[in-house]
Amino acid sequence: MGMAAPVRPTAALDLSADVVAITQAICDVPSVSGDEGHLADLVVEALADAGHLEVIRDGDTVIARTNLGRDRRVVIAGHLDTVPINGNVPTRFADEDGRRVLWGRGTVDMKAGVAVQLKLARELADPVVDVTWMWYDHEEVAADLNGLGRVLRTRPDLFHADFAILGEPTRGEVEGGCNGTLRVDLRATGRRAHSARSWVGENAIHKLAPALERLAAHGAETVRVDGLDYREGLNAVFVTGGVAGNVIPDDAVLTLNYRFAPSRSVAEATERVRAMFPEYEVEVTDAAEGARPGLDDALAQEFVRAVGAEARPKYGWTDVARFSALGIPAVNFGPGDPLLAHADDERVDCDQIVACERALRDWLTGAER
Amino acid sequence: MGMAAPVRPTAALDLSADVVAITQAICDVPSVSGDEGHLADLVVEALADAGHLEVIRDGDTVIARTNLGRDRRVVIAGHLDTVPINGNVPTRFADEDGRRVLWGRGTVDMKAGVAVQLKLARELADPVVDVTWMWYDHEEVAADLNGLGRVLRTRPDLFHADFAILGEPTRGEVEGGCNGTLRVDLRATGRRAHSARSWVGENAIHKLAPALERLAAHGAETVRVDGLDYREGLNAVFVTGGVAGNVIPDDAVLTLNYRFAPSRSVAEATERVRAMFPEYEVEVTDAAEGARPGLDDALAQEFVRAVGAEARPKYGWTDVARFSALGIPAVNFGPGDPLLAHADDERVDCDQIVACERALRDWLTGAER
């Protein structure tokens, strides 16, 4: 007789509970990137008897879609994984200036958003648009592991849609698109010499002076894209150089991170950086396209109107860029303050979760607000 | 019966041989810092029957002095250790553009100088000044291990002298004094933020710009001290900063090495650096006083005249600074090109060894040149 495998003592997920209770339930199932399997199991199980949904499992990504023959289809997606837990699971409720908050890992990024989606997926058998719900793995780690990226490679057909909503935390507002990001190494070279005879050498660290001057003088530019103002940022994030305490260094490297407006491509952003630092070797080490907000699209405008909030730009890079790259307008919309994402004091305002659920439900059911 | 300890197959040192042969013999006794014992044994043994010398052993330092009641006493010193061997022992002779050279570790730094000293110590029973010969250990490693420094602590009486000559390589010229050296960390601080919202933070790396500008613009100053021109150097030798590829850094450190003329003290040099970089935290991590050339001293002037070469400044820090700190004028004088010290192709011109021996012999015996 073999030994029984250890079983996690998690009850089935009850999607008829209120959305705050669902948030707590799924936060209390740890799902740090790479360990999403059990939560994905619970999601599949909770949707199994929803006759209006076609449920597809791909690794630890769960996709559930309606096939009602609507003339428009919307993807609504959220990631199941979190950054590592730091003593902040299980979650707990607290009172903060008279508001009820749920404390703990994942409450903001982004299980409150996932809870809203799960509840509506289970309950809305007859939405006004066809919906493809996607809950995916490995968002918080290296981009090549991302579950959304994987499914896009293996099942591109699942990505046919007219509009996409990601449940990333936006305080319940609509944040459109996102800036792109570029990382480059600027390298200065010189000639080694003993520092007692420094005039024989050529100091590579000193040669970084003009680059740092330009960076210090460069204000973050603001670029208007599809009606939203994207603030850029061009910053040194690393600097390194030096051989020994008595040697004139022949090599110094400054690593820059350029967060650029989604009206620019990676190629344009790279060209901009090269033009700004013509005297250095420039090596691109990492880049991701931004995403235009796509708020000139009729469906997107309807959604913004329905939610009743002003649309804003998203600064951080999110998976909306994947949809944008496919030509699908995409926005972020979810409960939680993005500044608390990954923080040890991560916590979400419970009213915000409820408000997000109501707004999304109203839009999907065509209710007047 | 115990086992015999391994014996190094080195013949006794014959100080009646010519000085080039002595150089080769002592280069072929490896004496990397920490391993000078056997060479020190050979030195003691070779001087044992020299009735005109009082020989003192302190660790692996050997001191031999005349006690002739002369009204002036000169210290003549050299270190026995070398930097690590790199396939360049045993030594070999070669022809270089028609000149005979001895190749190998220690030939320049500084066993040719030591060979000159050993031969003269053994032979000159009646010099015109009293001489304290010092051959010491641990010069090429951390300053607190230096044999000269150790003996200065345990036997300060041995350092009573009117003048000192160190046999460090100077191409047979007289190099007076040496620059001081100061190492400081300049620190800039800021405020961390996600690089997607860089305007919330304060970039510490960017704040290094003015320091690097000033360094790049700062030419190496030349300061005349006791008739010699000392060229200074103020350089960044290390730079470091950065937290993560998507974080505005809150801390950046630039390490400077200031090689300063011996007319300035460490305190003055430090004050100069602080005044030049008032907006940074400045932390001194390492410092050594320079040494004035002392060439206004009568004995020093006599020596320079006798050697028949123009005196020059020494840029690198040497143990002459220890004598200078005691108020004893001190110069460097020895065979070998200092730029070849520590190099894998370290080699010395044999004629230079012979010329140095002759010059020092002439001066010590009062011969006219």
Give pLDDT tens digits for B47-57. 999 999 999 99
Instruction: Lowest mean pLDDT of A109-123, B98-112, B312-326, B345-359, name the range.
Output: B312-326
Residue A284 lies in a domain: yes
Catalytic residue from among B36, B137, B139, B250: B139
Residue B230 lies in a domain: yes
For residues A336-355, give the mean pLDDT. 93
Local confidence band at B230 (pLDDT 50, 70, 90 cut-offs) = very high
Which residue range is the domain that position B344 belongs to?
A: 19-178+291-365
B249, B273, B288 — which closes off a domain? Answer: B288
Q: Say whether B237 and A249 touch across the interface (CB within 8 A).
A: yes
Considering the domain architecture, whether residues B34 and B142 belong to the same structural domain is answered as yes
Local confidence band at B10 (pLDDT 50, 70, 90 cut-offs) = low
Catalytic residue from among B36, B41, B81, B346: B81
Considering the domain architecture, whether residues A272 and A324 belong to the same structural domain is answered as no
pLDDT score of A7? 41
CATH of the domain at B195: 3.30.70.360
A268 is catalytic: no
Contact B256, B280 (CB under 8 A): no
Considering the domain architecture, whether residues A300 and A276 belong to the same structural domain is answered as no
Q: What is the mean pLDDT of chain A?
A: 92
A297 is catalytic: no
Considering the domain architecture, whether residues B172 and B184 belong to the same structural domain is answered as no
pLDDT score of B4? 38
Residue A1 lies in a domain: no
For residues A255-272, give the mean pLDDT. 96
B270, B288, B306 — which closes off a domain? Answer: B288
Considering the domain architecture, whether residues A162 and A112 belong to the same structural domain is answered as yes
Within a 10 A sphere around the Cβ of B245, how many other Cβ atoms? Answer: 15
Residue A107 lies in a domain: yes
CATH of the domain at A100: 3.40.630.10
For residues A133-161, give the mean pLDDT. 93
Residues 279-298 of B with CB under 8 A from A: 286
B288, B304, B336 — which closes off a domain? Answer: B288
Local confidence band at A26 (pLDDT 50, 70, 90 cut-offs) = very high
- Give CA–CA dist B253/A263, Å, rounded: 36
Q: Say whether B245 and A252 touch across the interface (CB within 8 A).
A: no
pLDDT score of A271? 97
- Give CA–CA dist A165/A338, Å, rounded: 16
Considering the domain architecture, whether residues A136 and A78 belong to the same structural domain is answered as yes
Q: What is the ipTM of this complex?
A: 0.75
- B199 vs A contacts (CB less than 8 Å): 220, 231, 233
For residues B180-191, give the mean pLDDT. 95
The domain tally of chain B equals 2
Q: Which is more confident, A52 or A295?
A: A52
Considering the domain architecture, whether residues A282 and A341 belong to the same structural domain is answered as no
| Residue B8, pLDDT above cutoff 70 | no
Residue A6 lies in a domain: no
- B315 vs A contacts (CB less than 8 Å): 196-197
Residue B11 lies in a domain: no
Considering the domain architecture, whether residues A30 and A142 belong to the same structural domain is answered as yes
Q: Give me the total of CB pairs closer than 8 Å, taking one residue from chain A and one from chain B.
A: 155
pLDDT score of B368? 57
| Residue B7, pLDDT above cutoff 50 | no
Catalytic residue from among A81, A232, A289, A349: A81
Percent of chain B at pLDDT > 70 equals 97
Give pLDDT tens digits for B15-56. 999 999 999 999 999 999 999 999 999 999 999 999 999 999
| A131 backbone dihedrals φ, ψ, rounded to 5° | -120, 135
Using a CB–CB cutoff of 8 Å, tell me whether B212 touches chain A.
yes
Residue B12 lies in a domain: no
Residue A11 lies in a domain: no
Considering the domain architecture, whether residues A284 and A355 belong to the same structural domain is answered as no
Q: Say whether B203 and A215 touch across the interface (CB within 8 A).
A: yes
Q: Which is more confident, A113 or B306?
A: A113
Considering the domain architecture, whether residues B244 and B353 belong to the same structural domain is answered as no
Considering the domain architecture, whether residues A304 and A355 belong to the same structural domain is answered as yes
- A209 vs B contacts (CB less than 8 Å): 209, 212-213, 215-216
Considering the domain architecture, whether residues A262 and A324 belong to the same structural domain is answered as no
